[in-house]
Amino acid sequence: MLRRLDSRKISSVAMLSLVICFTLVSVHSCRQTDMISAPYLLTDPFLQLPTENSVRVVWFTEFAGTQHTVSYGENLKQTAKANTIKLSRTREDQKSRVGNQTQDKQVYQKPVRRDIWRHEAEVTGLTPGVRVNYRVTSVREDGETVSSDVFTLAATPKPGTPLKILLTSDHQLKPMTSANLQKVVETVGRVDGVWFAGDLVNIPDRASEWFDDNSGGALFPGLQGRAKYEMTHDGVKTTYTGGQIIQHAPMFTCIGNHEVMGRFARTGSLNDEFDDTIPHAIAQKLYPDKSLIDNSFNTVTYEEIFTLPTSQEGGKKYYAVTFGDVRLVVLYITNMWRSPSLDGKRKGRYQEAEKDFNNSENWGYGQVIYEPIAKGSKQYNWLEAELNSREFKQAKYKVVMFHHPPHTLGDNIVPAYTEPVQIIERDGNNIKAVRYEYPKDTDYIIRDVVPLLEKANVQLVFYGHSHLWNRFISPSGIHFLETSNVGNTYGAAWGNRKREVPIGYQEEYVQLGDPNGLEPIVPTIAPLLGEDAKPMPYIASNELTVFSIFDTATGTIASYHFDTRKPDSEVLKFDEFKLK
């Protein structure tokens, strides 16, 4: 994963210095001050925010440096200077697998800041449809330089340009992700864009999950063909490298629940901090004189890492962009995932932990919705205006992307997407239970958002969250696609497998099928067969990994699966449908 210019002999003094560094905090903090080793790029460059005559080039290092540039064009003679920022919240902790720390060897005892610098240059003067070579170079403080390989970039494609767009989500360092991305490139070649429906990593402030987790499955290595993820089946070990994708193709992302961190530095680990989200209204009562971002929830690291289109109302959180023949509308529709377990041992989606009944500061408040989308909210009003805009109405293909599923066989669609209704049961002054109900008739996605999309003739709604593949068609003709079985799955509520839901609550929570009433579509080409030998309308597998490609030349979306148990097997196209 790491790119070095040369190898050098290290003196005994230098070796002692490295040993001391490993002992203190982190191998990474030592690299910033110890200039013995050659500089390296923490990532290859990747593309962001293309316009009709420009595109942004972004990369990361573990040194601030004195100069960072992009060379591009014929013989790489043109240059663009990068602006540099330091990521403000990237850290490592007990659960990090990075540098000298593994699952079996502990280095960090608590969250420790990790210094990482982001560099971004804008390449201008581009001609639509013309690809240009580029390379990035960073100069360290001691004058040592490091350059990337040569890649290609382009302006945003004009309408009428045939494109192949990768639809993906929920990578999260899962076991099959690197194999999935490697097979994308081997199957369809270079894609023109990536749409990522949320959950890029697990803990967004844990730096190694983005850059260099030593399992080999961090986000950027997988999407840049620099992963080193080993899988073993029947004694045969295969190493997957991911695919060289985002060096050449811009990526548009949306916020999933795993892009959101909770109350800052209140707990002793990043996992606990991630889990420590509370609603804004509760934070304002508990911490009236303190930062709302630090004491509720935030997407700081996600927003610092990516340069995305913006809206005046939502910034990077929700936006719309035209890409070739497509108008892509990206929404911030996600909530805090909490366990459906009713054992009372931890805060969950339906109840609080028994040990915290009398300590409301530790309550989770159910599945907190991070950004309002109900009718009349700021995001809803923005969406309504966007769907009536000239850019949207004139687009050949109208696509909406967000994280939380409107229709799925997965577990994460239950309960309804609505504000939790808290019910506290008391016996005198003693709290006996703190429960949460989710009235189905106030599901904001189904009640408020989907009718807007139907009225606007949206052809495709793309989402993730449940770690499976399934799709649906509404009576009005909207295609709903969830293609998130890229790493591992948690199963489908189908056949004999039921969702874990509470019994005896006021609401009736659906255990099987799509709670919102649509029948799943059986794959059109090669469906898998169930134990009853009947075709299954989904893929939920820890051996088969799935990806989908949107071909705008034909308006078709094809889905493929690859059997990781059989490294030499072919990738199989199992489903295809066409947008009107």
The mean pLDDT values, 10 residues at a time, for the chain of 580 residues are 37 37 39 68 98 98 98 97 98 95 88 98 96 98 98 98 98 97 98 98 98 96 97 93 98 98 95 97 95 96 98 98 98 97 93 95 96 98 98 98 98 97 93 96 98 98 98 97 93 95 91 97 97 96 97 98 96 97
- DSSP letters, 453-508, are HHHTT--EEEE-SSSSEEEEE-TT--EEEEE-TTS-----S-TT------SSSSS-
CA atoms within 13 A on the CB side of 418: 18
3 vs 39: CA distance, rounded Å: 8
DSSP lists the bridge partners of residue 92 as 112
From its phi and psi, is residue 439 left (phi > 0), alpha (psi between -120 and 50) or beta?
A: beta
What are the φ/ψ torsions at residue 556 (nearest 5 degrees)?
Answer: -100, 150
348 vs 342: CA distance, rounded Å: 8
DSSP SS3 for 55: strand
CATH 2.60.40.10, the chain: domain bounds: 1-155
What's the Cα-to-Cα distance from 221 to each of 3, 171, 224, 251, 483, rounded to whole Å?
A: 12, 12, 5, 14, 21
CA atoms within 13 A on the CB side of 66: 7
Question: Tell me, what's the pLDDT at 35?
Answer: 58
Sole residue written with tokens 């839901």: 501
Question: Tell me, what's the pLDDT at 25?
Answer: 39
The three-state DSSP-derived secondary structure of 368-387 is CECCCCCCCCHHHHHHHHHH
CB-based contacts of 97, cutoff 8 Å, min separation 6: 103, 208, 213, 214, 215
482 vs 362: CA distance, rounded Å: 34
CATH 3.60.21.10, the chain: domain bounds: 157-260+300-337+372-410+440-578
- Give yes or no for a contact between 257 and 334, defined as CB atoms under 8 angstroms apart: yes
- Give yes or no for a contact between 373 and 450, defined as CB atoms under 8 angstroms apart: no
- Classify domain 157-260+300-337+372-410+440-578 by CATH number: 3.60.21.10
Question: Tell me, what's the pLDDT at 8?
Answer: 33
50 vs 58: CA distance, rounded Å: 12
Given the candidates 3.40.47.10, 2.60.40.10, 1.10.1510.10, 1.10.3720.10, the CATH classification of the domain at 1-155 is 2.60.40.10
DSSP annotation of 213: -
Token duo for residue 180: 């999935």
Token duo for residue 365: 């408040």
- Closest C-alpha to 364, from 376, 355, 374, 375: 355
CB-based contacts of 197, cutoff 8 Å, min separation 6: 167, 168, 169, 170, 254, 256, 401, 402, 403, 462, 463, 464, 465, 484
